[in-house]
Structure 1
Amino acid sequence: MNVKSAEEYRNLILSHLAALEEEDRLGQQGQSVVTLDQQAVGRLSRMDALQSQAMAKANQLRRDAKKTALLQSLGRLDQGEFGYCEECGEDIAPKRLAFDPSVTRCISCARG
């Protein structure tokens, strides 16, 4: 991989990380503690709030996993291992990396 494309991938990874950080910031309110005051909120409203909270927490876990994968991609980029399949060692298609720079396997190995 040449220096120009490595820098493009680095910028792409950093932009994905920045977008995830923004999603984290916006998702903090949805994870707040649900008040169980029966005078203020009805039973169904509390159930909806609990469900929304659970979905917000699940989304946070998904974002955390994606951030970890992107940070690992930065590490592979620094070590010169970015863009190569971890199973077969072949190049990963540039379009696949452009779509998701955290992928670690070529399409053939990903399909099994």
Structure 2
Amino acid sequence: MNDAEAKKQLLTLKADIQQQENDFQKDNKPLELDQARLGRLSRMDAMQVQQMELEASRRRMLQLSKIEGALQRIQSGDYGFCFICGDKLDGKRLAIDPTVTRCMSCVDS
């Protein structure tokens, strides 16, 4: 995968994640804990769902940060090389996750 293809894939992924996050922010409402309206188990379920949604949002923000880093590496000419040893990253690996920063040798060590 060349840099232009990687950039296109990263920008598409970034747009998808931003749309998901925007939808979450738009639909995210404060949790209603009115004990007269909801039973204890319903409140617990609602709190668990809210926490899972917040964790998903946190992961989306982390992924956006990784995408921004990859886009900056493309811009600077460092994309596709291991941060640690400087070896070229496997193209198949970059095709699966275009945000990787380390080769398999450095990941394993």
Same fold (TM over 0.5): yes
1:7 paired residue number: 4
Equivalents in 2 of 1:61, 1:46: separation in Å? 22
In the alignment, structure 2 segments of 5+ residues that lack a partner are none
Match of 1:37 among 31, 34, 38: 34
Runs of 4+ in 1 over 3 A off after TM superposition: none
Match of 1:104 among 72, 93, 101: 101
Equivalents in 1 of 2:24, 2:56: separation in Å? 8
Indicate the SS of the match to 1:101. coil
Shift of 1:109: 0.8
Structure 2 length normalisation: TM-score?
Answer: 0.92
In the alignment, structure 1 segments of 5+ residues that lack a partner are none
Shift of 1:40: 1.9
Equivalents in 2 of 1:65, 1:73: separation in Å? 13
Aligned length: 108
- Identity among equivalent positions (%) equals 36
Does the 8 Å CA contact 1:32/1:53 hold for their aligned counterparts? no
Structure with bigger RCO (C-alpha 8 Å, 6+ apart): 2
